[in-house]
Amino acid sequence: DLPRPSISAEPGTVIPLGSHVTFVCRGPVGVQTFRLERERNYLYSDTEDVSQTSPSESEARFRIDSVNAGNAGLFRCIYYKSRKWSEQSDYLELVVKGEDVTWALSQSQVDPRACPQ
């Protein structure tokens, strides 16, 4: 079986509105394609721009230049190697902060009465 990939975010998982974030997906050497997914298997981005970072590991980087409320939510990585897809990584939650409002997960899960007018 293929080892599960890992996912991290630079500079972190809480990003000010309009700032950049880079998701880093890591897997074993020999990965052909990394895929960054949103929750519910929604395809976000594929890349074949895979770099080998050590004798046993490769990675791909997915940059969002200017985050907005729509970028908040859960992300995970999978990769393609040896003619099959790996298991998914754990989810990573991206939180977007701006002007006294924090977006996490979907706006529909927030009680509108709790939001400042």
Structure tokens at 87: 């298991």
pTM of the full structure? 0.83
pLDDT tens for each residue of 70-86:
899 999 999 999 999 99
DSSP 10-73: ES-SEEETT--EEEEEEE-TT--EEEEEETTTEEEEEE---EEEETTEEEEEEEESS--GGG-E
Domains of the chain: 6-107 (2.60.40.10)
Structure confidence by residue, pLDDT tens digits, 102-116: 777 554 444 444 444
Residue in the structure block whose two tokens are 């939180």: 95
